Amino acid sequence: KAGVTQTPRYLIKTRGQQVTLSCSPISGHRSVSWYQQTPGQGLQFLFEYFSETQRNKGNFPGRFSGRQFSNSRSEMNVSTLELGDSALYLCASAPGQPYEQYFGPGTRLTVT
């Protein structure tokens, strides 16, 4: 079974721009979560989607948004990028909860 895939793997953007990251979950997994990882902060929960519905959201500003499509693929969008948004963005999929999540390799976003 193919794992979680994320595109692109690396991205460099300028302050003020917006960015869209994509995640394809493991086949059959309907839950997709997004996390931000920065040095010393661990993985910070952004949001979780299941069957196209956002079921929970972390403590991030409204500039961070996401969506899930009917095939369970998910995208997250960050508008008006700030330098502090530079991070590794990880997507994880699961059959539901409580089950272990399986992570993709992440998208490394650098904001200059």
Partner 1 sequence: DQQVKQNSPSLSVQEGRISILNCDYTNSMFDYFLWYKKYPAEGPTFLISISSIKDKNEDGRFTVFLNKSAKHLSLHIVPSQPGDSAVYFCAASETGTYKYIFGTGTRLKVLA
Interacting residues toward partner 1 by CB under 8 A: 4, 31, 33, 35, 40-45, 48, 50, 55-56, 58, 90, 92, 97-98, 100-106
Q: Please report, as a single letter, which amino acid is at residue 88.
A: L
Residue with Cβ nearer partner 1 (11 or 45): 45
Provide, rounded to whole angstroms, the least separation between the CB of residue 61 and partner 1.
18
Please, what's the largest Cα pairwise distance for the chain? 39
Residue 97 CB, nearest distance to partner 1 (Å)?
6
Cβ distance to partner 1 smaller for residue 79 or 108: 108
- In the bound state with partner 1, the residue whose beta carbon lies nearer, of 57 and 79, is 57
Distances (CA, A) of 10 to 55, 58, 59, 105, 108: 28, 24, 24, 11, 5
Q: Quick check: 22 and 6 in contact, CB under 8 A?
A: yes
In angstroms, give the least distance from the CB of 3 to partner 1: 9
Beta strand spans in the chain (E): 5-7, 10-13, 19-24, 31-38, 42-50, 53-57, 64-68, 74-78, 87-94, 102-103, 107-111
Q: How far is the CB of 66 from partner 1 (least distance, A)?
A: 13
Q: Which is nearer to partner 1, 18 or 38 (CB)?
A: 38
